[in-house]
């Protein structure tokens, strides 16, 4: 039971940010090196042991395609969401084998299918390298030199670590530049598909129910990891809880939240509100309409575009809700007040006073970002060239240029320590569809013309006197880059061979590389580096004034969150924390059993009777955001009680500020998973493997 004064704070919906008091509630995406031990002890009387934390950390699996997961058996069984695995499922699918829609079940190890380009990461160790990074950046350096020096030291630290440990080594920027940590990951690149349900139940309710609650989704997917072609054994995994968590129970979420903006200054948030979000939403709306129209033309089109369309719709809904938060004066006024409080405290402190300028430095960098925004988005982010084949061409062109430089001087993604992961994607055998490529590229070239202007030199040089449609057609039909062998050949060939290539997509990538690099350089030197320097000052001021018992914004790196299983009030009605399997059938009936509210045949006529009362999905107050999809939900005993697959619509404001008034993380209950595996899918071996893990 929480002390009564907390309730009032929570009713405001917008608790104070980053102040380690009661107002924190269940806030925080905590580093494993700095977990909220004091809070847990004081409010939940729970003290996690080092062994408990270590098992969580090493059982957690990052999906490099953009999600989280966990080992749930010593035999290397990984569970994640269906919508996280969907990228791999889509790439294994063909017109005759739609694994996304129809699901998959390997009854034996032999039937498992190897994913084409999936990379999983397990965080083995971390090291604070802030001092070394900052030492490389001298006080009197220009922004350009500072950016170069910071990149060089980062690339070098990673390379040294890789050489020494053979582990994937990434320097992670925390607190927007306040700290730099070296993360070492064990990497799995031989990942095989074990089980996926039909999309109709994995994503039951579709886009309308996405980010909503109550829900009834079996959003799961299983893989096995292999090493040297053989099933891997893993030391750390999460034992399964058959009964799951009960109401008000304390639970933990371990995963990789992708990105939050809680530490942004008000000016930075205003830029997100006025420029960044509206601009990206315009592109998203356009792509959603394009892909929806494309998908409706035939069932095969729908299959080809499915995973991409899901991603776009998911982003659209999340962005719109987050933008609504930014457009809500209640939130922005609170942010302004908090910022003023911190700045005022700073100004009163003679040693910190000088750092108050940091807010102005952020504003200057943001102004610069705003100035270059259109070119930056179109050229360097590539919204003008929405095509897989163009991305491949660009990477090949850049590899040739970057390989000729010292590792320290390379653009981040071409650093030596990242080469294996880069090639895993670049040489992927994932199918590429000409018609879809043409549709996407034509539309984005049209947008390029519209946004940069018909007379823009790069627009003219790109289109070469053709319409966007005709030029897209020529580029896609003419390129040989669909052939992975050809990609490998080009990757080896070096700059002069690339310049001689008559491949039209390579030629286009070569053509637009100089202006793209130029705007990237401006961004890195005049936006990113100054932001890092300014936010480092703000972070230090925060630490000095508010204390260091805090957590950084999300960066798609491993975090620990916690909360209680708890319902909430909405429109005057109490939303209970659970749904049941029986509720799925009622929900389908309520929507006339029409798509996306159709239950698959396997559920309508299960081989064994389904217990309608089995808890299906549940909500908790843990602090999550996109990237947490697939995160394990754990009880105090370290057992697996569920899998995060969504947040409700009220949770999307967590991008900027934590609240547990209504915001909830949404999970599939561990009981429902076993019930479905055994009674719907007859996946006895899989259920047995999970339950063997439970015996641990």
Q: Which residue ranges make up the site for a copy of itself (CB under 8 A)?
A: 206-208, 270, 273-274, 278, 281-282, 285-286, 288-289, 292-293, 296-299, 316-317, 323-324, 327-330, 446, 449-450, 453-454, 463, 465-470, 591-592, 594, 596
CB of 339 to a copy of itself, least distance (A): 16
Phi, psi (5° rounding) for residue 615?
Answer: -60, 135
Give SS3 for 426: helix
Report the distance separating Cα 6 and Cα 229, nearest Å.
Answer: 54
Residue (299 or 684) nearer to a copy of itself, CB: 299
Nearer to a copy of itself, 131 or 299 (CB): 299
Residue 281 or 422 with smaller CB distance to a copy of itself: 281
Residues 405 and 66 sit within 8 Å (Cβ to Cβ): no
How many CB atoms sit inside 10 A of residue 128's CB? 13
C-alpha separations of 243 from 123, 240, 253, 364, 666 in Å: 29, 9, 17, 54, 17
Report which of 544, 525, 545, 676 is spatially closest to residue 614, judged by C-alpha positions: 676
Separation CA 636–CA 479 (nearest Å):
55
596 φ, ψ (degrees, to nearest 5): -90, 30
End-to-end CA distance of the chain: 32
CB within 8 A of 604, min separation 6: which ones? none
Nearest-approach distance from CB 331 to a copy of itself, in angstroms: 9
Dihedral, 379, 385, 387, 393 alpha carbons, nearest 10: -60
- Separation between Cα atoms, residue 662 and residue 511, nearest integer Å: 50
Which residue's CB is nearer to a copy of itself, number 109 or number 282? 282
Nearer to a copy of itself, 43 or 317 (CB): 317
Least distance CB 614 / a copy of itself (angstroms): 26
Report the greatest alpha carbon distance in the chain.
Answer: 73
In the block, which residue shows the tokens 């397990």? Answer: 122
Q: Which residue, 106 or 663, has its beta carbon nearer to a copy of itself?
A: 663
Residue 521 token pair: 């350089």
> Cβ 305 to a copy of itself, closest distance in Å?
13
Nearer to a copy of itself, 107 or 466 (CB): 466
H-helix or E-strand spanning residue 251: strand 250-255
Cβ proximity to a copy of itself: between 56 and 463 the closer is 463
- How many other C-beta atoms are found inside a 10 Å radius of the C-beta of residue 232? 17
The rounded distance, in Å, linking the Cα atoms of 214 and 582 is 13
Separation of alpha carbons 6 and 611, rounded Å: 39
| Closer residue to a copy of itself (CB): 286 or 495 | 286
Q: How far is the CB of 321 from a copy of itself (least distance, A)?
A: 10
Instruction: Report in angstroms how near the CB of residue 318 gets to a copy of itself at its nearest.
Output: 13
User: Strand order in 250-255's β-sheet?
Assistant: 559-564, 250-255, 632-634, 640-647, 665-669, 615-620, 578-580
3-state secondary structure of 636: coil
Q: Is 647 helix (H, G, I), strand (E, B) or coil?
A: strand
**Shortest distance in whole angstroms from residue 289 CB to a copy of itself:** 5
Total residue length of the chain: 696
Between CA 326 and CA 655 the distance in angstroms is: 10
Smallest gap, in angstroms, from Cβ of residue 528 to a copy of itself?
25
Nearer to a copy of itself, 94 or 296 (CB): 296
Smallest separation (angstroms) from a copy of itself to the CB of 294 = 9
Q: Give me the least distance between CB of 244 and a copy of itself, in Å please.
A: 29
Closest approach of a copy of itself to the CB of residue 95, in Å? 12
For a copy of itself, the closer CB: 380 or 443? 443
Name the residue nearer to a copy of itself (CB basis): 299 or 404. 299
Q: Which of 185, 182, 162 is nearest to 172 (CA)?
A: 182
Pick the closer one to a copy of itself by CB: 330 or 604.
Answer: 330
- CB-CB neighbours of 65 under 10 Å: 19
How far apart are CB 275 and a copy of itself at their closest, in Å? 9
Q: Residue 483 to residues 13, 248, 416, 479, 502: CA-CA distances in angstroms?
A: 53, 54, 25, 9, 15
CB of 464 to a copy of itself, least distance (A): 10
Determine the Cα–Cα distance for residues 263 and 266; give it in Å rounded to an integer.
9
Kindly write down the DSSP assignment for every residue of 210-248, as one continuous string: TT-SS------EEEEEEETTEEPP-S--PPBPSS-PPTT
Q: Give whichever of 50 and 455 is closer to a copy of itself, judged by the CB atom.
A: 455
User: Cα–Cα distance between 3 and 17 in angstroms, integer?
Assistant: 19
Shortest spacing between CB 203 and a copy of itself, in angstroms: 13
């Amino acid at each position: 039971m929480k002390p009564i004064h907390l309730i009032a704070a929570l009713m405001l919906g917008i608790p104070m940010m980053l102040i380690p008091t009661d107002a924190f509630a269940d806030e925080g995406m905590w580093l494993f090196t700095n977990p909220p031990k004091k809070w847990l002890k004081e409010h939940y009387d729970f003290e996690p042991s080092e062994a408990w934390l270590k098992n969580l950390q090493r059982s957690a699996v990052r999906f490099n395609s953009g999600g989280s997961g966990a080992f749930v058996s010593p035999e290397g069984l990984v569970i994640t969401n269906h919508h996280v695995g969907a990228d791999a499922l889509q790439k294994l699918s063909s017109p005759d084998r739609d694994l996304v829609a129809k699901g998959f079940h390997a009854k034996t190890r032999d039937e498992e299918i190897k994913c084409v380009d999936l990379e999983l990461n397990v965080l083995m160790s971390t090291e604070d390298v802030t001092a070394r990074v900052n030492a490389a950046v001298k006080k009197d350096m220009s922004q350009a030199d500072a950016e170069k020096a910071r990149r060089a030291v980062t690339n070098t630290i990673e390379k040294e670590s890789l050489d020494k440990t053979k582990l994937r080594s990434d320097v992670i920027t925390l607190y927007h530049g306040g700290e730099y940590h070296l993360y070492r990951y064990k990497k799995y690149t031989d990942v095989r598909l074990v089980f996926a349900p039909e999309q109709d139940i994995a994503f039951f309710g579709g886009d309308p129910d996405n980010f909503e609650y109550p829900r009834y989704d079996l959003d799961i997917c299983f893989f096995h990891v292999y090493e040297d072609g053989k099933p891997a054994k893993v030391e750390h995994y999460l034992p399964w809880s058959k009964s799951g968590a009960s109401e008000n129970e304390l639970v933990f979420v371990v995963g990789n939240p992708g990105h939050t903006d809680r530490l942004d200054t008000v000016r930075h948030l205003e830029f997100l509100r006025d420029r960044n979000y509206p601009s990206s939403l315009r592109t998203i709306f356009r792509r959603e309409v394009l892909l929806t129209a494309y998908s409706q033309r035939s069932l095969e089109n729908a299959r080809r575009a499915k995973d991409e369309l899901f991603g776009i719709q998911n982003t659209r809904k999340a962005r719109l809700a987050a933008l609504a938060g930014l457009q809500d004066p209640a939130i922005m006024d609170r942010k302004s007040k908090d910022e003023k409080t911190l700045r005022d405290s700073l100004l009163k402190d003679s040693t910190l006073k000088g750092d108050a300028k940091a807010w102005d430095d952020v504003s200057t960098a943001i102004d610069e970002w705003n100035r270059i925004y259109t070119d930056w988005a179109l050229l360097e982010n590539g919204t003008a060239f929405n095509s897989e084949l163009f991305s491949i061409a660009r990477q090949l062109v850049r590899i040739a240029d970057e390989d000729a430089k010292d590792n320290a001087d390379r653009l981040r993604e071409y650093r030596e320590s990242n080469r294996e992961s880069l090639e895993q994607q670049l040489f992927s055998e994932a199918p590429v569809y000409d018609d879809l490529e043409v549709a996407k590229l034509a539309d984005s070239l049209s947008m390029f013309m519209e946004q940069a202007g018909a007379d823009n030199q790069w627009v003219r040089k790109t289109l070469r006197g053709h319409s966007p449609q005709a030029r897209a057609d020529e580029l896609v039909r003419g390129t040989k880059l669909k052939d992975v062998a050809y990609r490998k050949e080009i990757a080896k060939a070096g700059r002069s061979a690339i310049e001689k290539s008559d491949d039209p997509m390579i030629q286009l990538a070569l053509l637009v590389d100089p202006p793209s690099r130029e705007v990237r350089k401006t961004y890195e030197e005049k936006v990113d580096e100054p932001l890092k320097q300014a936010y480092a000052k703000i972070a230090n001021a925060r630490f000095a004034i508010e204390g260091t018992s805090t957590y950084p914004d999300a960066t798609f790196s491993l975090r620990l969150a916690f909360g209680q299983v708890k319902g909430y009030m909405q429109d005057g009605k109490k939303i209970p924390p659970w749904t049941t399997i029986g509720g799925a059938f009622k929900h389908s009936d309520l929507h006339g059993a029409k798509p996306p509210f159709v239950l698959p045949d396997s559920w309508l006529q299960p081989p064994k009777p389904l217990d309608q009362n089995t808890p299906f999905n549940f909500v908790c107050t843990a602090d999550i955001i996109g990237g947490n999809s697939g995160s394990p939900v754990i009880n105090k005993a370290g057992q697996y009680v569920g899998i995060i697959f969504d947040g409700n619509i009220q949770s999307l404001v967590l991008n900027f500020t934590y609240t547990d008034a209504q915001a909830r993380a949404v999970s599939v209950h561990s009981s429902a998973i076993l019930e479905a595996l055994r009674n719907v899918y007859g996946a006895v071996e899989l259920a047995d493997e999970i339950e063997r893990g439970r015996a641990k």
